[in-house]
Amino acid sequence: MKLSLRKANALQNAIQEQIKTIEMTVSVSINEFQEINPTLTKARDTLIINDARRKSLLQVLYTIRAQIGNANDAVGVSQRLSQSAYIDKRLAQLKTLTDSTVSEVEVVLMGKLDKIRNRPADSRHSLYGSQDEVHTGVLTTEQVSTFKAEVAALKKDKQNLNDQVLELNVRTEIDLDQTSIDVLTSETLL
């Protein structure tokens, strides 16, 4: 049976959800009116059967995961996902730069600093030191614009990569073996 990578991924999620629903009751309460041996035997049998179901589903899950990984690598999905992750990190780095305040014009900075240097020593501002500095951004308007252009280009690249990955996930297929098909059919997942 052939499955697209997209459907195989959805199947992995369904398997994980199915595993969560399998009860693993490891203790039982017995009241004075119940027979000990049949109650314990039934609880043990149910526990062993449920564990066998979980084990089978887990084996199928990791068989599918390995096949998806191999297929992703073979068709270039893994490389594209790495490039996409790089873009995410670079966009996060660029946010600080694109959101930064641009540098004051040098003439304005010189004027503000001269004003601080030339004020009387006994002025209120110099007593507390609160206005003894001039704060300014370090990047020019052109540099911020360049970083914003890089952000726009990276967002385009990311969308292109996402489209390629989606197309490859729909077009690329894996083969389920008969054992996996049997397990998934018995669990009503196929």
Name the DSSP class of 139: B
The verdict on residue 136 lying in a domain is no
Measured CA to CA, the distance from residue 54 to residue 42 in angstroms comes to: 18
The verdict on residue 112 lying in a domain is no
Structure tokens at 129: 């030191």
Task: Say what the pTM is.
Answer: 0.73
The verdict on residue 83 lying in a domain is yes
pLDDT tens-digit readout, 8-28: 999 999 999 999 999 999 999
CB 180 within 8 A of CB 60: yes
Measured CA to CA, the distance from residue 109 to residue 102 in angstroms comes to: 13
CB 162 within 8 A of CB 83: no
Structure tokens at 119: 């004020």
Counted domains in the chain: 1
Q: What is the mean pLDDT of residues 44-48?
A: 96
127 pLDDT higher than 70: no
Range of the domain at 175: 2-89+170-186
pLDDT band at 125 (very low <50, low <70, confident <90, very high): low
CB 124 within 8 A of CB 75: no
CB 116 within 8 A of CB 132: yes
pLDDT tens-digit readout, 140-186: 999 999 999 999 999 999 999 999 999 999 999 999 999 999 999 99
The verdict on residue 23 lying in a domain is yes
The verdict on residue 40 lying in a domain is yes
The verdict on residue 175 lying in a domain is yes
Which helix (H) or strand (E) covers residue 175, if one does?
Answer: strand 173-175
Phi first, then psi, for residue 29 (nearest 5°) are: -100, 135
- Per-chain mean pLDDT for the chain: 92
The verdict on residue 106 lying in a domain is no
CB 25 within 8 A of CB 47: yes
CB 60 within 8 A of CB 174: no
Angle at 65 between CA 61 and CA 71, to 5 degrees: 145
CB atoms within 10 A of CB 13: 10
